[in-house]
Amino acid sequence: MPTAIKDTQRLRARHARWLQMAGRGLSPPNPYAWLTGDTFDTMPAPATEWQALGYPPFGRGVALLASAIATTRWVAERYDTSIGIHVPLPDQPAVLVDPYPDVTPWAYRWAVVEDGILYGNHFALYGDLDWRTKRPGWVVPLAADDVWILQDPETGEWTWVVGGDEISRDAMLHIPFGNRSGEILGRGILFQYADWLGAALAAEDYAGHYFSGGGLPPAVLQSPNVLTETQAEDLKDKWREFTNTREPVVLPTGYVLTPIVSNAEQAQLVQSRQWTAEMVAMMLGIPAWKLSLPGPTMTYQNVETADIDFVRDGVDRYSAPIAAAFTKYLVPSGTQVRFDWSSRQRADATTTASTLTAYVAAGILTVDEARAVIGRPPTTDVPAEPAAVEPAGPTPASVVATEET
């Protein structure tokens, strides 16, 4: 079977399973399973997009990654053979300045990152050509879970399908955020970790019920006599009335009250919730301290170094595919798109000043290049010429007469 068809069938089957299990949620299993021969499904339902984003560590982690890319400047640059480095174009392509006219560039980049994290793919239709670059000047993004693949089993040719309409491959921008060789679609968090997230959310739901008093009954009432179901319900109702008033309770002779005391720490719920949050941080490639999780004590310089590692090892996981796709499909050949991380990977002011001073002294950078690193305009290094001195002329006769007198 062609790979593209397997991709589509695989994802469609998984989505159908998500919808089926999400609709069933945590409801009791089929009570007639013993009669029909069905098996009991004891596994929690895989997490949906909204459930995953509603889990604070996961939602916050996605926001950190999306914000880091959305707030970072991206530029188109070309290699200058005369100086041997890439130089930003003086006139940036329209697709970078305003990629999707209906929203801000910040909002577009944020959405692209969310598509990549959750679904592993970003799709957009090409807009009109930019007359300067002869490439699309803007794009129209599509919902990542609404795009499918249709392939001819005889010829192997495939095309995109959105809402029942076929869209040719040359009309669609596709950014896969990691896929195996021979596969078309990328794999996001919901594809890789939906089952694990579902179990984590089920544990979180249980912990919430535990801390709100629903994990265990508060006490056990024992009666000396055999009670009917109606009498037992009446006894529980009277007990609730007494406990709501917080008044002392006097039990009839023969009745025994046994309180049930449980310790959340002994139940390891706190440790379990912390461990789950740490796993989410690892899953997203975010340092634990960025999610306010406990970790080793860090000095200011350690935190700064960790932030550089965060960009290099976590954020770049999603920014690099975006830059590579825009470079290949949306800017002219010989031009590359790059996110400018210099402002986020810069050391503290003292270290930066010392480093730039050493570079200037060694002749590695000019003064203007060093000033550009810290966002300062260029200055003139040529010293000002001294003021001209008027040549001495003949002494006026009146001054001579005065001096002789």
Residue 207 belongs to some domain of the structure: no
Q: By the 8 A CB rule, do 337 and 93 touch?
A: no
324, 228: one domain:
no
Per-residue pLDDT of 247-299, as tens digits, reads 666 667 777 777 655 555 445 566 777 888 888 888 888 888 788 777 655 55
pLDDT at 123: 96
118, 235: one domain:
no
139, 179: one domain:
yes
Q: Could you tell me the pLDDT band of residue 183, with boundaries at 50, 70 and 90?
A: confident
Cα(174)–Cα(61) distance, rounded to whole angstroms? 24
Per-residue pLDDT of 57-92, as tens digits, reads 999 999 999 999 999 999 999 988 887 888 888 889
186, 283: one domain:
yes
Cα(222)–Cα(232) distance, rounded to whole angstroms? 10
Cα(165)–Cα(150) distance, rounded to whole angstroms? 10
328, 223: one domain:
no
Residue 166 belongs to some domain of the structure: yes
Residue 75 belongs to some domain of the structure: yes
Identify the domain boundary among 339, 371, 391: 339
For residues 377-389, give the mean pLDDT.
58
Residue 23 belongs to some domain of the structure: yes
Cα(309)–Cα(151) distance, rounded to whole angstroms? 41
For residues 160-184, give the mean pLDDT.
89
232, 101: one domain:
no
In this structure, what DSSP letter does residue 391 have? Answer: P
pLDDT at 301: 52
Residue 365 belongs to some domain of the structure: no
Total domains present in the chain = 2
252, 289: one domain:
no
Structure tokens at 188: 């996001």
What is the torsion angle, in degrees rounded to the nearest 10, for the CA atoms of residue 25, residue 29, residue 33 and residue 39? 70
Give the CA count within 13 Å in the CB-facing half-sphere of 229.
0
For residue 177, CA distances in Å to 136, 195, 287, 337, 349 come to 22, 20, 21, 17, 35
Q: φ, ψ for residue 158 (rounded to 5)? A: -130, 160
Instruction: Kindly report the pTM of this predicted structure.
Output: 0.69
174, 105: one domain:
yes
Q: Could you tell me the pLDDT band of residue 47, with boundaries at 50, 70 and 90?
A: confident
Structure tokens at 284: 């997203």
111, 192: one domain:
yes
pLDDT at 13: 47
Residue 355 belongs to some domain of the structure: no
pLDDT at 2: 46
Helix (H/G/I), strand (E/B), else coil: 247: coil
Identify the domain boundary among 324, 339, 354: 339
111, 156: one domain:
yes
Identify the domain boundary among 339, 367, 384: 339
Pinpoint the alpha helices (H) of 55-122: 56-70, 94-97, 105-119
154, 181: one domain:
yes
Residue 209 belongs to some domain of the structure: no
**Antiparallel, parallel or unpaired: β 85-88 and 74-80:** antiparallel
Q: By the 8 A CB rule, do 199 and 279 touch?
A: no
58, 34: one domain:
yes
Cα(384)–Cα(214) distance, rounded to whole angstroms? 81
Residue 402 belongs to some domain of the structure: no
Range of the domain at 245: 219-258
Residue 139 has pLDDT above 70, yes or no: yes
Cα(201)–Cα(2) distance, rounded to whole angstroms? 36
Residue 362 has pLDDT above 70, yes or no: yes
Instruction: List, in sequence order, every residue forming a beta bridge with 166; answer none if it has no partner.
Output: 161
Per-residue pLDDT of 305-316, as tens digits, reads 777 788 888 899
